[in-house]
Amino acid sequence: MSDPSALSINAGSPEPIYRQLMEQLRRRVASGALVAGQEVPSVRELALALAINPMTVSKAYSLLEAEGLLERRRGLAMVVAAKHQQARSQTERMALLRPALQQAAEAARQLEVEPRDALALFKTILHEEP
Amino acid sequence: MNTLSLPQSQSAGLSLANSGAPATSVEVRGLTLSYAGRPVLDQLDWQLLPGQVVGLLGRNGVGKTTLLESLLGLRDATGGEVRLFGSPIALMDDAMRARIGFVPQQSQLFDWLTPRQLLAYFRSFYPKWNAAKAEALMARWEIPQDQQIAKLSGGQQQRLSIVRALAPEPDLLVLDEPVSSLDPVGRRDFLRELVEQVLDRGTTVVFSTHILSDLERVAFNVAFMAGGRITVQAPLSDLMDGCRRITGPASRVDAHVRASQLTVLSRRALDGGEVAVLAAGEHEARPDGLGSDALSLEDLFAELTL
């Protein structure tokens, strides 16, 4: 991807923008859509594309570098770290999906929606066009 | 001012220019101002560092415009001091004025001129006036160059006011509700322009707006104004990471806040002896029997501008 349009943000949520960016990059690496050595958009490109503060992008990239997802290559370009050669295992990807589903499960319980109905809804949503 | 030290306070990668030299773009100390006996600014302290983009938040009528205009020497304070780039604004000269761009809430353009005449007029005052940039923005934002300004739409006048503020390549940009007349596409384009200024020139920006989604995008730091003061200023992501709204019976909420050594930023009473407390610190995921919610910028605004 050096295409910044692959990333998006949602202002107005309780999740800070830098964490939204981190989560999306983690998912793209986990799925194998981004693999070792591939460049991510520069701070400048991404800040301009999303109309966000460049410090926010830097913060997300620095934290992803610290957790070993990205590496800084000569000069400024950030690339996916060497150890991410291929998509992660099904188990690991499921682990990344879990927090989002936990939140959905909590919402379903609060709304007293039956598990059967909640699952049916999730199935429908999975098949919708994004 | 409540200077917060919040968990996960990561300093982001961009380093600021000049390590030693003049530390602040804006330094406000003890600024006090009243209208007809009503205090608007009350011993207000505030600092903006070079390259910071700070969103100024507060309810209607709290004095944001008064504060922003005071920074530029457009209001006479009864006490306190404002320094820009290290010099008191009482000594404002052309050189200092040339470093400041201002987009006022109501555009104060000479509306009998055409945009072309207006820009030619201002150009003469600014040594660093970037004519190419002004031309490019005028074209991109489709502002008619030769029509009387009075006959332009509100949105076009606001865009022209932005062009006028950006063209001198200012070191400090003061924006008071700069996009209230623009549609979402126009606003996004303006935000991009602002991001580009910050990237290319390290411009210090202070930005007041009620459009919180815009502010969340471009303001790395936010400052909340209430009761004539800046009550909280911090990186927005630190506030969102470090603050939660704890709700429940007053005594239990207070006990929890003490036990977890949280810093209380605001507190309001709810019905039935319950309270809602905005607290910063290391939070447990689910404190027993109490509500604990992460906060959006809108939630923070509601809690911190009372």
For the stretch B259-275, pLDDT in tens is: 999 999 999 999 888 99
- Boundary-marking domain end, from B192, B215, B237: B237
Tell me: do B26 and B139 sit in the same domain: yes
Residues B12 and B90 occupy one common structural domain: yes
Is the model's pLDDT at B12 over the cut of 50?
no
Looking at chain A from residue 27 to 46, which residues have their Cβ under 8 Å from any Cβ of chain B? Answer: 43-44
Chain A (71-130) residues lying within 8 Å, Cβ to Cβ, of chain B: none
Residue A51 has its nearest CB partner, among B192, B212, B297, at: B192
- In CATH terms, A4-80 corresponds, of 1.10.10.10, 3.30.930.10, 3.40.50.740, 1.10.287.3510, to 1.10.10.10
| Amino acid A68: pLDDT | 94
Q: How far apart are CA B191 and CA B204, in angstroms?
A: 14
Q: How many CB atoms lie within 10 A of CB A118?
A: 16
For residues B94 and B222, membership in a common domain is answered with yes
| Nearest residue in A to B299, CA atom | A14
Q: What is the mean pLDDT of residues B275-300?
A: 88
Give the C-alpha separation, B113 to B146, whole Å: 9
Same domain, B226 and B253: no
Which ipTM did the prediction report? 0.86
Q: Distance from A66 to chain B by nearest Cα, in Å?
A: 12
End-to-end CA distance of chain A: 19
Q: What is the CATH number of the domain that holds B57?
A: 3.40.50.300
Given a cut of 50, whether residue B17 has pLDDT beyond it is no
Which of B287 and B157 is assigned the larger pLDDT? B157
Same domain, B146 and B249: no
Q: Which of B237, B267, B289 is the last residue of a domain?
A: B237
Q: What is the pLDDT of residues B116-156, one digit of tens each?
A: 999 999 998 888 899 999 999 999 999 999 999 999 998 89
State how far the Cα of B265 lies from the Cα of B304, in Å rounded to an integer. Answer: 7
User: Containing domain of residue B50, as a range?
Assistant: 2-237
B240 vs A15: CB contact, 8 Å cut-off? Answer: yes
Q: Band of the pLDDT at A80, cuts 50, 70, 90?
A: very high
Angle value at C-alpha B23, between B18 and B29, nearest 5 degrees: 165
Cross-strand partners of B232: B2, B224
Domains of chain B: total:
2
Mean pLDDT of chain A: 90
Could you tell me which residues are beta bridge partners of residue A42? Answer: none
Minimal Cα–Cα distance from A75 to chain B, Å?
14
- The model's pTM: 0.86
Both B264 and B288 in a single domain?
Answer: yes
pLDDT tens for B167-198 read: 999 999 999 999 888 889 889 999 999 999 99
Q: How far is B214 from chain A (nearest CA, A)?
A: 8
Residues with Cβ < 8 Å from B47, sequence gap 6 or more? B24, B26, B27, B28
One domain, residues B83 and B221: yes
| Pairs of residues, one from chain A and one from chain B, whose beta carbons lie less than 8 Å apart | 81
Residue B26 region, left (φ>0) first, then alpha (ψ -120 to 50), else beta?
A: beta
Average pLDDT of chain B, as a whole number: 88
Of the candidate ranges A20-29, A79-88, B283-292, the one whose mean pLDDT is the lowest: B283-292
Domain ends where: B183, B206, B237? B237
Q: How far are the Cα atoms of B50, B101, B112, B201, B248 from residue B164, in angstroms, in the given order? A: 21, 8, 16, 17, 51
Neighboring chain B residues of A14 at a CB cutoff of 8 Å: 240, 293-296, 299
pLDDT on residue B21: 52
Q: What six digits make up the tokens of B234?
A: 């911090």
The pLDDT value recorded for residue B179 is 87
Q: How many Cα atoms occupy the beta-carbon half-sphere of B243 within 13 Å? A: 29
B216 Cα to chain A: minimum distance (Å): 6
Q: Which of B187, B205, B218 to mutate to test the interface with A (most CBs of A within 10 A)?
A: B218
Q: Which residue has the higher pLDDT, A6 or B84?
A: B84
Residues B109, B7 within the same domain: yes
Pair B260, B230 in one domain = no
Same domain, B89 and B225: yes
Q: Which of A95-104, B171-180, B280-289 has the lowest mean pLDDT?
A: B280-289
Q: Where, residue-wise, is CATH 1.10.10.10 in chain A?
A: 4-80
Mean pLDDT for the stretch of residues A83-107: 88
Strands B53-57 and B221-226: parallel
* pLDDT 10s digits, A59-73: 999 999 999 999 998
Pairing mode, strands B53-57 and B79-84: unpaired
Q: Are residues B175 and B280 in the same domain?
A: no
**Residue A1 confidence (pLDDT):** 56
Residue A130 clears pLDDT 70, i.e. is over it: no
Say whether both B244 and B140 belong to one domain.
no
